[in-house]
């Protein structure tokens, strides 16, 4: 939306008037004074348009900082379910000094590409705890695949079979749904009778509900999304970006 110089000047005048409320108030100005202030600000902005760019940059920085603080509060409030829920899949070092949480969908193309990043971090970082959260937001097929995955997790407390299932299903071609997920579960050697029974259990339903509630609390609306330490990251930012976030959580700077 494009604002007229007159509108911008009026807004700036109001900001100037409220910058020091103990000294002056906007309503203390007469109509003539308001007009003069608007003229001065208008002329200044025309002569120095870069000021608007600086103001927008500062506004964006403040909004980013406020969003980051909001995320940190939400992560702290929901830390137990985020990092130590009995309904989650935990890989890597369970006592790692940094926890890397990924929310994903089996039909998310970006998640498919980001899977290699997670696997690389898991392999190369012995101090990293990796938590996977089912977040099926891309339709009924995704929900069905997540239900199968949740039942696989119930049958495999070590996470090894789940990881094999996860990489085959997420890394495969085509739409993920119940039939395809069951085929992959059978391929990796799961007890299919027990799997069908577990899929209908309250635990699977509770696990998925928990993940959706966590995502809502954190303001997540897409996949992949991550919680790394106390930071929330939305989108596939690539291996270098994820590594920087892990390092920042571990030692306070992008490179440890």
Q: Per-residue pLDDT tens for 50-78? A: 877 887 877 677 776 667 677 788 889 99
Q: Is residue 57 part of a domain?
A: no
Q: Are residues 129 and 206 in the same domain?
A: yes
Rg (CA), the chain: 25
User: Where does the pLDDT of residue 26 fall: very low under 50, low under 70, confident under 90, or very high at 90 and above?
Assistant: low
CA 190 to chain centre: 31
Q: Are residues 109 and 169 in the same domain?
A: yes
Domains in the chain, number: 2
Which domain range does residue 145 map to? 79-251
Say how far apart CA 225 and CA 70 lie, in whole Å: 16
Residue 251 near residue 245, CB atoms below 8 Å: no
Q: Are residues 102 and 177 in the same domain?
A: yes
Q: Per-residue pLDDT tens for 131-168? A: 999 999 999 999 999 999 999 999 988 889 999 999 99
Say how far apart CA 81 and CA 216 lie, in whole Å: 13
The closest alpha carbon to 249, from 221, 227, 229, belongs to 229
Which pTM was predicted?
A: 0.74
Say how far apart CA 187 and CA 34 lie, in whole Å: 76
Backbone φ and ψ of 92, nearest 5° = 75, -145
Q: Are residues 106 and 215 in the same domain?
A: yes
For 192, the 3-state DSSP assignment is: helix
CA 109 to chain centre: 16
- Write down the pLDDT at residue 41: 80
Q: Are residues 106 and 204 in the same domain?
A: yes
Q: Is residue 256 part of a domain?
A: no
The closest alpha carbon to 140, from 96, 180, 192, belongs to 180
Enumerate long-range contacts of 193-196, CB under 8 Å, 24 or more apart.
Answer: 194/155, 195/148, 195/151, 195/152, 195/155, 196/151
Q: Per-residue pLDDT tens for 90-121? A: 999 999 999 999 999 999 999 999 999 999 99
For 234, the 3-state DSSP assignment is: strand
- Write down the pLDDT at residue 158: 85
Q: Are residues 119 and 3 in the same domain?
A: no
Q: Are residues 122 and 29 in the same domain?
A: no
């Amino acid at each position: 939306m494009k604002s007229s110089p007159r509108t911008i000047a009026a807004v700036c005048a109001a900001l100037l008037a409220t910058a020091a409320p103990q000294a002056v108030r906007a309503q203390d100005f007469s109509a003539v004074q308001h007009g003069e202030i608007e003229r001065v600000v208008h002329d200044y902005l025309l002569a120095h348009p870069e000021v608007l760019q600086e103001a927008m940059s500062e506004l964006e920085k403040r909004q980013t900082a406020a969003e980051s603080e909001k995320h940190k509060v939400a992560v702290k409030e929901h830390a137990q379910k985020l990092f130590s829920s009995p309904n989650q899949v935990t890989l890597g070092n369970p006592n790692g000094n940094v926890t890397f949480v990924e929310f994903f969908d089996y039909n998310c193309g970006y998640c498919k590409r980001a899977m290699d990043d997670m696997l690389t971090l898991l392999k190369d970082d012995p101090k990293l705890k990796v938590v996977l959260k089912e977040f099926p937001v891309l339709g009924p097929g995704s929900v069905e695949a997540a239900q199968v995955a949740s039942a696989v997790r119930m049958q495999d407390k070590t996470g090894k079979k789940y990881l094999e299932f996860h990489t085959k299903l997420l890394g495969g071609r085509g739409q993920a749904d119940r039939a395809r997920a069951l085929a992959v579960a059978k391929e990796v050697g799961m007890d299919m009778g027990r799997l069908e029974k577990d899929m209908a259990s309250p635990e699977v339903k509770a696990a998925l509900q928990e993940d959706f509630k966590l995502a809502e609390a954190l303001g997540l609306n897409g996949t992949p999304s991550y919680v790394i330490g106390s930071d929330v990251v939305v989108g596939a930012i690539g291996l270098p970006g994820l590594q920087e976030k892990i390092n920042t959580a571990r030692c306070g700077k992008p490179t440890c």
